[in-house]
Amino acid sequence: MDVGSYYNYKADWPFIPDGNGLNDEFFPLDLKQTMINNNLTQKVKFTVIDRSGKPIFVSSSIDNGWKGRDMEGKMVRLNEVYVWKLEFVNELGNPEVYLGTVTAGSN
């Protein structure tokens, strides 16, 4: 069974959702730029998952990154590690899935 391509991806930039306008939103930027350059922005699903395995954020737009809040709008615990998953269809029509972790930091 072919389940598409899976990649582990490390995001090396700070994510500090403190409302000061700097690094308040998380989306894997290198992947976003690649998707824009290759016109792969239509069939996208970006999910952030907490340590219990519960999805706390889901978006179908590369312009809607995670702002450190759960689906109820509550701020998540800071200095915790979250798993993110980015799914999209590549230029050949094949699914691609990228997984990584991000820490919701604080100053």
The pLDDT of residue 49 is: 96
Average pLDDT of span 44-56: 94
The pLDDT of residue 53 is: 94
Average pLDDT of span 40-54: 90
Average pLDDT of span 7-15: 59
- Rounded Cα–Cα distance for residues 107 and 17 (Å): 9
Q: How far apart are the first and last CA of the chain?
A: 46
The pLDDT of residue 10 is: 54
pLDDT exceeds 70 at position 97: yes
The pLDDT of residue 90 is: 83
